[in-house]
């Protein structure tokens, strides 16, 4: 570990590389986190299957790419498939959980996650997959720093998607309905908004977002049927840090997480990357709670 730190010290370009890599993947985290915050804020449900949705999106995109479809088509395809799945899951399972103790939704979506994991492994096989587009990289500082072009495109696409989503929520009628229900479900229902449908729409939109994020991620990073949990944890961590309804916070937290993971992976070694993420999570929660305690409120 110390030797790795020394390397960083001697080759600052490497540090820059880590920062860039971190930022680029951070955008994917941000998208997934945004979706989770949406479902949480609107329907008071924590979707533990978030990571599995991302993985599924990625696998669909990989499959499509292997069948010869261009990347540009794979992403919307994945989003659409997940959107449909989201509605199906909502009307079969999630609809029963709305308004109940949040723990029920945690358990139920965990169940969904387990089911999806093994189903994905059956359908797609459990090997690592990637839909590499082979675009190559830009190089800086005499080749010390490589900026993968695909990852940059992914980053840009995530931003575009995020902005589209925000506009949708702000401007469109359905988006406004979603926001109304998030703030005051009883009032919204009295005003004629079908809250059940709104919750369903929110869940399905979240699934679509994850699908798109996964599809994008699959172009530059490996996808694995059992790789969802870390995405779920990351999303949760980001939402906790940023607070619900704080899009700026989500972006900032997600990018920071990406960079932090990037450095941790290098300094501590890849096998400790996950340990680092979770330890960071614990530290963040403890710190946040301590801050709130001074105001005599609790993280709850």
Partner 1 sequence: MDETRALTPKRCLMIAGLLAVGGVAPVLLPAYQLQLTELLLFMVFALCWDLVGGQMGYNSFGNVLFVGLGMYAAAVVQVGLFYDVGLYNEARGGGTDFVFNESQFLTGLALGIPAAALVSALAAWLLGSLVLTMRGHYFAICTLGLGIAAGQIAAGIPWLGAGSGMLTPNPPDSLGHVSLLLYYLALGLAVLCTLTFAWLLSTRFGLTLNAIRDDEDKAEAMGIKTHAAKVTAWVVAAGFLGAAGALYGNMVRFIDPIQTAFAGATIGVWMILMALLGGKGTLAGPIVGAIVFQLTKELFWTYLLGWQRVALGLLIILVAVFFPSGLVGFVRDRKRAEGKP
- Interacting residue ranges for partner 1, rule: CB under 8 A: 46, 93, 96-97, 100-108, 110-119, 122, 229, 233, 236-237, 240, 271-272, 274-275, 278-279, 281-282, 285-286, 289-290, 293, 298-300
Using CB atoms within 10 A of its CB, is residue 128 exposed (0-12), middle (13-18) or buried (19+)?
A: exposed
Question: Which CB atom, from 97 or from 215, has the smaller least distance to partner 1?
Answer: 97
Tell the smallest beta-carbon distance from residue 236 to partner 1 (Å). Answer: 6
Question: Which CB atom, from 79 or from 237, has the smaller least distance to partner 1?
Answer: 237
Which long-range contacts link 138-145 to residues 24+ away (Cβ below 8 Å)? 140/13, 140/16, 141/13, 141/16, 144/11, 144/13, 144/14, 144/17, 145/13, 145/14, 145/16, 145/17, 145/20
Half-sphere exposure of 222 (CA within 13 A, CB side): 8
* Gyration radius from the chain CA atoms: 20
d(CA 90, CA 204): 8
CB 104 within 8 A of CB 94: no
d(CA 116, CA 86): 12
Question: Which CB atom, from 171 or from 294, has the smaller least distance to partner 1?
Answer: 294
Question: The tokens 């395809």 sit on which residue?
Answer: 77
Tell the smallest beta-carbon distance from residue 296 to partner 1 (Å). Answer: 10
Question: Which CB atom, from 16 or from 93, has the smaller least distance to partner 1?
Answer: 93
Torsion of CA 261, 102, 81, 274, to 10 degrees: 20
Structure tokens at 265: 């992976």
Question: Which CB atom, from 248 or from 298, has the smaller least distance to partner 1?
Answer: 298
Question: Which CB atom, from 146 or from 240, has the smaller least distance to partner 1?
Answer: 240
Question: Which CB atom, from 219 or from 235, has the smaller least distance to partner 1?
Answer: 235
Tell the smallest beta-carbon distance from residue 2 to partner 1 (Å). Answer: 15
Question: Which CB atom, from 190 or from 300, has the smaller least distance to partner 1?
Answer: 300
CA distances to 2, 142, 231 from 14, rounded to whole Å, are 15, 12, 25
Tell the smallest beta-carbon distance from residue 250 to partner 1 (Å). Answer: 16
E-only strand ranges, 4-144? 137-140
d(CA 26, CA 174): 28
């Amino acid at each position: 570990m110390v030797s790795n730190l020394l390397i960083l010290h001697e080759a600052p370009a490497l540090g820059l590389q880590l920062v860039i890599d971190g930022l680029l993947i951070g955008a994917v985290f941000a998208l997934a986190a945004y979706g989770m915050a949406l479902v949480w804020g609107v329907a008071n449900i924590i979707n533990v299957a978030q990571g599995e949705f991302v993985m599924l999106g990625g696998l669909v995109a990989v499959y499509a790419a292997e069948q010869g479809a261009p990347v540009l088509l794979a992403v919307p395809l994945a989003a659409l498939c997940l959107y449909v799945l989201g509605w199906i899951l909502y009307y079969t399972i999630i609809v029963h959980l709305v308004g109940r103790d949040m723990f029920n939704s945690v358990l139920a979506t965990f169940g969904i996650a387990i089911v999806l994991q093994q189903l994905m492994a059956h359908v797609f096989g459990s090997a690592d997959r990637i839909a590499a587009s082979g675009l190559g990289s830009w190089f800086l500082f005499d080749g010390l720093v490589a900026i993968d072009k695909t990852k940059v495109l992914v980053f840009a696409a995530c931003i575009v998607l995020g902005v589209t989503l925000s506009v949708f929520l702000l401007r469109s009628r359905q988006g406004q309905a979603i926001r109304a229900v998030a703030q005051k479900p009883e009032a919204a229902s009295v005003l004629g908004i079908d809250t059940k449908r709104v919750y369903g729409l929110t869940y399905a939109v979240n699934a679509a977002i994850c699908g798109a994020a996964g599809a994008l991620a699959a172009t530059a990073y490996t996808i694995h049927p059992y790789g969802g949990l870390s995405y779920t944890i990351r999303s949760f961590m980001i939402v906790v840090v940023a607070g619900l309804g704080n899009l700026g916070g989500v972006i900032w937290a997600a990018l920071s997480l990406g960079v932090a993971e990037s450095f941790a992976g290098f300094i501590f070694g890849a096998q400790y990357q996950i340990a680092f993420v979770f330890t960071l999570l614990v530290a963040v929660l403890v710190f946040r709670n301590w801050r709130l305690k001074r105001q005599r409120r609790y993280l709850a």
